Structure 1
Amino acid sequence: MADGRRDARISMMLGLLTRRGEVRVRLLPAVLRVSEATVRRDLAVMEERGLIRRSYGKITAVRPGAELPVGLRRSQHVEAKRRIGALASALIPRRPLTVALGGGSTVAFVARSLAGRPGLTVVTNGLETAGSLMSRQKVEVVLTGGTARPLSEDLVGRAAVKTLRSYRFDYAVVGADGISPEAGLTRFSPHAAEIDRVMLELAEHVIVVVDSSKFGRVRKAAVAGLGAVDTVVTDSRVAPEAVAALRGRGVRTTVVLVPPG
């Protein structure tokens, strides 16, 4: 629990750095509502992870906009991801199906909602996703082989692709690090993008789950254009014009209500 609160504070500080570029350390106790000693410990952890640089009473991000460790991403937009996961799972019919689930913190919430469903065969490259599915012992889970990416706790590479290509999927559910009408779906990692691309190629129906912070972002690795997507599920903090742009491209876009934040 303590680690979860720390990761939430670290995520908040990284969000401040994204918006401001740099932050004065003396302001952080008031912003985070913790003691100076807690801030010092948090900053030490961030330095150890290579996330920030400290100098002259300020902190800056070492790699602004870089992919964050999955432990930190789990603490971001939690309520939005929970509701997105519940709604996305409800879009998958209750009958025997074969489903591909990608890795990532939002897809893991889809897996939690699907875990009690009998008759499902789920193929995934996500270690957290697989763990969520196996918790209820109802779903038949196939974990791809491959090379583990510690940053995201997913499996990539030839072995993962080979496993996926031995199936045809009724549904594929994937996340994204960026989504825009022009660039479509993008990822930080070319290896992760390859896995998502194969899942989309082999699926009859494609659902993309993304919280509102991913809209308008374009990352370096292309997954697919919006023409490959049937449905996008996001949250109500997304800009209305972004939703309109997706719908204008023929993508069914569903928005779950979350409290303003």
Structure 2
Amino acid sequence: MSDRARDTRISMILSWLTRRGELQVRLLAPLLGVSGATVRRDLAVMEEKGLIRRSYGRITATRRSTELPVSLRLSQNIEAKRRIGALASSLIPPRTLTVALGGGSTVGFVARNLAARRDLTVVTNGLDTATCLTARQTVNVVVTGGTARPLSNDLVGKAAEQTLRSYQFDFAVVGTDGVSPKAGFTQHSPSGAEIDRIMLEQAECGIIVADSSKLGKVHKTKFADIASLHTMVTDSHANADMVAFLRKSGLNTILVVIPPDAGFTQRAKPGVSPKPR
């Protein structure tokens, strides 16, 4: 089984736990369509990551959220994220600029494409983003202060916010957990959403990067309205009606083409949930 399939199953389990609070382990194999051994391996990973507690044939979530740790998100929709990162980075012109980059797996692919640039100063709260950018030792990298948020491996809080407010950015590139015509751009984490809001607020041009699995999702905290952003880069699996709405709202919505064999995966539909027994 691939890491991508495992991470999709883990996402489904977390989604069910968020709605039900507790699940019987014996129900998971038939619900997921895998063997009991596969379920046990998945639960071991979840326990190692601190996502669940196990006792007497049942599991409970350690927190009421469906957000996956960034280490598990890295294997989801890789080809879409790679192409989104390449295209989004090409929107940043080759001249001396100051750019804000958030954390997250999709922004990480933007960082990879910018890492060889000698004309950029990049300010980021993402620890993984900073590591990627410093590998080539060409980009001038500024890392905000703040408190580390383990799920996303980024920095949040007053120190991070103050650093960002001391800059004016030519571009800001951030990810999102949800894109909705009514709710706008949303994140799981209120503290993470505040960082993204400030980055975009301080930037002349704001760019959202999000694979199409994020479209139609709504999460806890809104950080931007649809009409307030300049550009979003997503992929060709995006819902056509939603793309049309976003464009009509003034958001320059760019689609990268994903081949049929790219292994794109969607999260479980909200209505799918194990029945109590």
Q: What is the TM-score with the length of structure 1 in the denominator?
A: 0.87
| Percent pairwise identity | 61
Residue 6 of structure 2 is matched in structure 1 by: 10
DSSP-derived class of the 2:182 partner = coil
1:182/1:163 Cα in 2 relative to 1: closer, same or farther (>3 Å)?
A: same
CA distance in 2, matches of 1:246, 1:81: 20
Residue 81 of structure 1 is matched in structure 2 by: 81
Counterpart mapping for 1:158-173 below 5 A: 158-173=158-173
Shift of 1:10: 3.0
CA distance in 2, matches of 1:213, 1:29: 19
Residue 122 of structure 2 is matched in structure 1 by: 122
Shift of 1:42: 2.9
Residue 254 of structure 1 is matched in structure 2 by: 254
Q: State the aligned residue count.
A: 254
CA distance in 1, matches of 2:42, 2:101: 33
CA distance in 2, matches of 1:148, 1:123: 16
Contact 2:14 2:66 (C-alpha < 8 Å) held by counterparts: no
Shift of 1:28: 8.6
1:43 and 2:46 matched = no
Residue 153 of structure 2 is matched in structure 1 by: 153
The structure, 1 or 2, with the larger RCO (C-alpha pairs under 8 Å, 6+ apart) is 2
Counterpart mapping for 1:236-255 below 5 A: 236-255=236-255
Contact 1:81 1:211 (C-alpha < 8 Å) held by counterparts: yes
Provide structure 2 residue ranges, at least 5 long, that are not aligned to the other structure: 18-22, 265-277
Runs of 4+ in 1 over 6 A off after TM superposition: 18-23, 53-64
Contact 1:185 1:226 (C-alpha < 8 Å) held by counterparts: yes
Shift of 1:258: 0.9
1:182/1:38 Cα in 2 relative to 1: closer, same or farther (>3 Å)?
A: closer
CA distance in 2, matches of 1:43, 1:19: 14
Stretch deviating more after TM superposition (9-18 or 137-146) = 9-18
Contact 2:10 2:42 (C-alpha < 8 Å) held by counterparts: no
Cα deviation 1:157-202 (Å, max 9, x = unaligned)? 1111111111110000001111111111111111111111111111
The amino acid of 2:242's aligned partner reads A
CA distance in 2, matches of 1:47, 1:251: 40
RMSD: 2.7
Residue 226 of structure 1 is matched in structure 2 by: 226
Shift of 1:105: 0.7
Contact 2:9 2:32 (C-alpha < 8 Å) held by counterparts: no
Provide structure 1 residue ranges, at least 5 long, that are not aligned to the other structure: none
1:20/1:220 Cα in 2 relative to 1: closer, same or farther (>3 Å)?
A: closer
